[in-house]
Structure formats: C-alpha cells, structure tokens
Chain A
Amino acid sequence: METVLMKGNEALAEAAIRAGLKVYFGYPITPQNEVGEYLAKHLPPAGGTFLQAESEVAAINMVYGAAGAGVRTMTSSSGPGISLMQEGISYLAAAELPAVIVNMMRGGPGLGGIQPSQSDYFQATKGGGHGDYRLIVLAPSSVQELYDLTMLAFDLADHYRNPVMVLGDGLLGQMMESVTLKPYIPAFPLEEKTWATRGRKNREPNIINSLYLDPERLFSHNQKLFKKYQEIAEKEVRVEVINEEAEFFFVAYGSSARISLKVIELLKEKGINAGLIRPITLWPFPYTVIAEKVNQSKGFMVVEMSMGQMVEDVERAVKGQKPVYFYGTAGGIVPSPQKIFQRTLEILEGGQE
C-alpha cells in the first residue's frame, strides 16, 4: 500500500476517484479549490467526468440529476456555496438520492473569511434546508481520515439512499500529511440501483420525485424517511474515545479534536487525567457515548472553532448532570492549546462552574 504526502483536499479527491466517483460538479470557492482542480485533472483519465458548474445552485442540481441516473456523484464547496445548495440538499434527501457533499468550512456568517472554521455545524446537522430531513455528517480530523471517510461517505449514501456530508474545515483541507492510499473496499455490498432513471427498458418507468400533494401520502413519506433515520442513528454512530478512564473529558471534532489532544498532554504533566470524546459522525451524534461518561467525568469541555454549536448536543447528552464548559474561537482564529489548558486548569483547580 502506497503512503504519500498529500494535501487534505487532494486526498479526499483521490479517495473519491478510487471509490468510483463518476461525475463531479462544483463551483470554485476557497478553501476547497484543490478538490475541483485535482478532479479536473485526474477524474477524466479514470473514466469519469468533471464539470465546472455556473453556480453552487446548478452544481447541487446536477448532482441530483446524476444521482437519480444511478451513478456515484459528488460536489464540494464552503460556507456561502453550501448555503446556496440547501434547497437542492433538501430535494436530494426527500427523493432519497445518494450523493456526497463536501463542506470545507470557512468563517462566516455572510462572506465571512477564508480561514478555517467549524461554524456550519448547525447547518449540517440540524437541517439547513427546508423540511424534516437528515444528512449523515462525517467529521474527519486528519488527512488520512479525509481519505477514509470520503470512501465511506459514498457507501453510506448508496446503502441508505441518503445524501452524506463530509464536514471538514479549511485547516484539514490545506494541511499536508502522510496518507496511506488504501484500496477501496465497499463498506456494504454494492447493490444494483434498480430505482434509477436510466431509460425504462424492459420495466415500468422509474420516477425520482419529492412532491406529494396529498397530505396523507406526504405524512407517510415523512414517516418512511424517519424510520430510515432511526435505523441510521442506531447503526452508524462513529466516535473515538481517547483515555476511557479519564476524570475529565474534552468533546471536539475535526481540527479542534487535534488541538484538544495537545491540551490533554499538557494536563497530564499537571497530573490531571483528561480524555477526549471525538464524534466522527456528527449526525448521528454519539449522545450515548457521552452519557456513559457522565458518572466518571467531573465535567466536559467542548472545543469548537465557532461561537458554540455542538456544545448544545453535548448538553443534551449530559442532561445537566455535570457542568458542560465551552471554549471557542471564530473568524478563522485557531484555538490555542495553551489558552484552553489555562482555562481548564482554572476550572478544575478553582472548582468553579
């Protein structure tokens, strides 16, 4: 197995090609331009098609068409572009179309900035678009994981017929790290997409649709979707716990998880046994795993590159039984391990709320 030094954005693009990406549609935006550029160069020789769309609105609807035609398809963007895609994402979820959407988060709101951020957590995990629907949201925290989770994203999308978001941040996308180019092994048996619209040869027509004018039928469609979401919530929670026996836990994903690991080392030097709960799936969220640590943990420190979004889910898991603290930075400022360390020490030694 080949191990190479690669930029995060390129590693994910390479993983997509190896996972059988057939058509990619995207519109340029920093900090994820390398995804499209890599695919423009390497996807056609692999037998696929790269198309630069006229907007993110067009890109996500092209993804809809291609997904409905039964091929593996993907788009990538960042904040402002992902906002433009929300109507299309809602349609994908409603029509049960498998597709992969990458968001390399940058600082917002508005045009915001181009530096890394984690401020699209709410948008990714709580809807974003209109209607009752769920996205499967994967949160890599290394270049290797960007590679691995991108492959998994295609499999989850196909298996559950649901859009999957890979939620990275500008730091991961731009970072160079060594990555092992593992061969693609499907996480689920690849099934023939008998529902796809590819021409009605030797069968009745297939229809890709999200319109149900009859309230009863729309209600039962919603119920069907929610049954699927329940199954995903039961089976697909992914989380990494570091230092199971810890007396205090950090909860962080993506780049913030890497920073939290440094804080844990600093605390160790002070004789404090801290651990990390790192959600790998942000939806479904690992509520149970966090709840299981409530008894042993003096509290939880949530670290995010945002003004505090995932912290609400951690509070839901902890249910007020222990204090939940938050440390966040926004605007592209990466939290400093030293500062988080100081803050945590104050909390633990001062015994303050």
Chain B
Amino acid sequence: MAEILARPESLTKVPFHYCPGCTHGIAHRLVAEVIDELGLAEKTIGVASVGCSVLAYDYFNLDMQQAAHGRAPAVATGIKRALPDRIVFTYQGDGDLASIGMGEIVHAAGRGENITVIFINNSIYGMTGGQMAPTTLMGQKTTTTPEGRTKDNGFPLKVSEMLATLDGVAYIARVALSDPGQVIKAKKAIKTAFTVQEKGLGFSMVEILSTCPTNWGLSPVNALKYVKETMTRYYPPGEFKKPEGEW
C-alpha cells in the first residue's frame, strides 16, 4: 500500500491547489508515474497551458515551459524541433486545446509532430469561472449558457474523433477518470502515448474526461458519476487510432 501511495519521482512536493474532487491531480499523477516507469524524467520537457493546470510547472519535477493560451502544441513543436531526441508533452484543458488553440493542435497533429498531448476535457472553462467550452454538452448549464447549451451555441466538438482522421496521428485514445478501473485504463493509454513518442511514430494524444465539481455545481461523488454516466455517452472512451502492426 505504501508503495502505491508514494509520490512519483516526477512530481514535486508542492501540494496541488485543485478543488476537492477535481481530477486534474489524478491526471498529473498518472503522467508522472508513466514518465517514471519509462525512465524518461531526465530527458522530458513538459509544456503547461493556460487554465486551472497553468501551475503544472510547479507540480511536475521536470523541465517545464509555460505556454500562451492555446499555443502549447506550437511551443512543444519548437522544443521538439530544437531537441529531437527529447520527450516533449503538453498538458492542456479543453478551452485551451479545442477553442483558442484548435489551429495549433490540428496542425501539430497534421504534421505528425512527435509529441504527446494530455488533453483534459472537463466540458467547461474551469479557471475563468465556469463559462461554456467548445466541449460543453448540449443542455449543460454554464455561466454563459445559463439556460443550458442550445444549438444557438453550436454543438460540442469531438476532438479525438476529428484528429484520428489525420495521417500524422499515431495514437489517440479517450479515457475517463470516473472510477479506479477507468483510472488504470487511463494510465495504460498515457503509457502507450509516451511509448509511441519514444519510438518516433508520430503524434499521440490522450483525451481525459475529467471533473470540475466546482463549476458543475456537483459534489465530488456526483461529479464522478456525471463523467461516467453523462459525459461518456457523448464522448465514448476508446482507442481511436493506434500504430499498425508490431511496434
């Protein structure tokens, strides 16, 4: 038990600032564990984005860069092109990746940029106080869709499905941090994504369905239930693209 709870080497001792029941912290931990297990810490550079996880550079015990809102894939591209033998990952929210940064993520994927993207989909803008995200579900109430999202606000984007159509993409999976079984699956997907990068196979991304109990107005327990029962209905977990054959 003590072993399981030990802090991964790739996390610092700085305590997370996330709200109770927020799964950003679990996602950080999974990424750190994978980097530890693959022995990549000394050659990895992470890119923090703008959102609740902006302080990720304080939490990962790794070289880190903090990127402008939406531009983490471009920053990661710059790092990877400068240092092709290093491991580079971004950690981005759904507003960051799927709204303001949609251009950068599509083109990084299209180029087959050999980076790994950790995409936290909590269907809302957490940091700015609960506005609509491009991933907000139909009917979901946010501060800018007070009566619930309607078709006047457009429809939620399924980023993993979209990106999986691109030739440059090597691996894309969607996972949900809703219960221990799913957490184990999530870690497996993250490990696959980093391994794909290590082998130089191209762009890899793991979309993580994540909670925001604070802005959803739900208790931590009900937030997990919401991920499991409501989010996964529109955003089905699974692997959308994998490298073919033996790799």
- Chain A: residues with CB nearer than 8 A to chain B? 22-23, 25, 49, 51, 53-55, 57-59, 61-71, 73, 87-88, 91, 95, 197-202, 205-211
Q: How far is the CA of A87 from the CA of B75 in the complex (A)?
A: 13
Known contacts A65-B47, A70-B82, A73-B82; A199/B75 CB under 8 A:
no
Among A22, A53, A63, A199, point to the contact of B44 (Cβ < 8 A).
Answer: A199
Cβ B43 vs Cβ A211 within 8 A: no
Query: Which listed residue, A55, A59, A65, touches B76 by the CB 8 Å rule?
Result: A65
**B:80-124 near A, CB below 8 Å:** 80-83, 86, 103-104, 107
Question: Do B68 and A198 have beta carbons less than 8 Å apart?
Answer: no
Contact of A65 among B12, B57, B60, B82 (CB under 8 A): B82
User: Is the Cβ of A66 less than 8 Å from the Cβ of B68?
Assistant: no
Q: What is the CB-to-nearest-CB distance from A237 to chain B, in angstroms, rounded to a whole number?
A: 31
User: Is B52 part of the contact surface with A, judged by Cβ < 8 Å?
Assistant: no
| Given A67-B78, A73-B82, A211-B54, residue A61 in contact with residue B67 (CB < 8 A) | yes
Q: Which residue of B lies closest to A58 (CB)?
A: B74
- Cβ of A88 and Cβ of B79 under 8 Å apart? no
B157 part of interface (Cβ distance < 8 Å): no
Is A58's CB under 8 angstroms from B104's CB? yes
- Say whether A61 contacts B64, CB under 8 Å: no
* Contact of B78 with A23 in the complex, beta carbons under 8 Å: yes
Q: Check A66 against B78 for contact (C-beta < 8 Å).
A: yes
Residue B42 at the A interface, CB < 8 A?
yes
Is residue B140 within 8 Å, beta carbon to beta carbon, of the partner chain? no
- On whether the beta carbons of B54 and A206 are closer than 8 Å, the reply is no
B45 x A198 contact (CB < 8 A) = yes
- Decide: A200 near B104, CB < 8 A? Known: A69-B79, A91-B68, A207-B57: no
Q: Name the A residues within 8 Å of B78 (CB-CB).
A: 23, 25, 61-69, 73
A207, B66: Cβ atoms under 8 Å?
yes
In the assembled complex, the Cα of A73 lies from the Cα of B77 at a distance in Å of 13
Other A-B contacts than A51-B81, A54-B103, A197-B65, 9 sampled, CB-CB below 8 A, are A61-B74, A61-B104, A65-B47, A65-B77, A66-B81, A73-B78, A200-B42, A205-B60, A211-B66
Whether A201 lies near B66 (C-beta < 8 A) is no
Q: At the interface, yes or no: B195 with Cβ under 8 Å from chain A?
A: no
Question: Do the beta carbons of A200 and B63 come within 8 Å of each other?
Answer: yes
Question: How distant is A68 from chain B, measured CB to nearest CB, in Å?
Answer: 5
B215 within 8 A of A: no
Q: Is B62 close to A, CB under 8 A?
A: yes
B71 touching A209 by the CB < 8 A rule?
A: no
B61 in the interface, Cβ–Cβ < 8 Å? Answer: yes
Q: Is the beta-carbon distance between A58 and B103 smaller than 8 angstroms?
A: yes
Contacts A66-B81, A88-B68 given: A201-B74 contact, CB under 8 Å?
A: no
Whether A62 and B74, one on each chain, are in contact in the complex, defined by CB atoms closer than 8 angstroms, is yes
Chain A residues contacting B42 (CB-CB under 8 Å) are 199-202
Size bin of chain B's contact surface: 35 or more
B91 to chain A, nearest CB (A): 14
User: 29 pairs across A/B with beta carbons < 8 Å?
Assistant: A51-B81, A55-B103, A57-B74, A61-B68, A61-B74, A61-B104, A62-B74, A63-B78, A64-B65, A64-B71, A65-B74, A65-B78, A68-B65, A68-B79, A69-B82, A69-B83, A70-B82, A71-B83, A197-B45, A200-B41, A200-B61, A201-B43, A202-B42, A205-B12, A205-B62, A208-B65, A209-B64, A209-B66, A211-B54
Q: Is the interface of B mostly helix, strand, loop or mixed?
A: helix
Q: Check A199 against B104 for contact (C-beta < 8 Å).
A: no
Q: Choose from A25, A205, A210 the contact partner of B64 (Cβ within 8 Å).
A: A205
Which B residues lie within 8 Å of A201 (CB)?
42-43
Partner of B63, one of A25, A71, A199: A199
Q: A69-B45, A73-B82 are in contact. Are A53 and B61 (CB under 8 A)?
A: no
**Contact across chains for A207 and B64 when beta carbons are under 8 A apart:** yes
Given contacts A65-B65, A207-B57, A211-B66, contact A49 B103 (CB under 8 A): no
What is the chain B residue whose CB lies nearest that of A201? B42
In the bound complex, CA of A55 to CA of B67 (Å): 16
Also in contact, A57 and B71, with CB within 8 A (given A65-B79, A197-B45, A199-B43) = yes
Q: Which residues on the A side are within 8 Å of B67 (C-beta)? A: 61, 64-65
The answer to whether residues A53 and B66 also contact, given A197-B45, A200-B41, A205-B61 and a CB cut-off of 8 A, is no
Q: Identify which of B45, B47, B55 gathers the most chain A CB atoms within 10 Å of its CB.
A: B45
**Bitwise interface map of B from 11 to 49 toward A, beta carbon under 8 Å scored 1, else 0:** 010000000000000000000000000000111110100
Convert B184-203 into 0s and 1s, putting 1 for each residue whose CB lies closer than 8 angstroms to a CB of A. 00000000000000000000
* Chain B contacts for A88, CB-based, 8 A: 68, 71
Q: Are B74 and A197 in contact (CB under 8 A)?
A: no
**Taking CB as reference atom, which chain B residue is nearest A72?**
B82
Which of A63, A69, A202 has the largest number of chain B CB atoms within 10 A? A69
Chain A residue numbers with a CB within 8 Å of B76 are 65
B45: chain A residues within 8 A (beta carbon): 69, 197-199
Once bound together, how far apart are the Cα atoms of A73 and B80, in whole Å? Answer: 13
Q: B residues within 8 A CB of A53?
A: 74, 107
Contact A197–B75 (Cβ < 8 Å): no
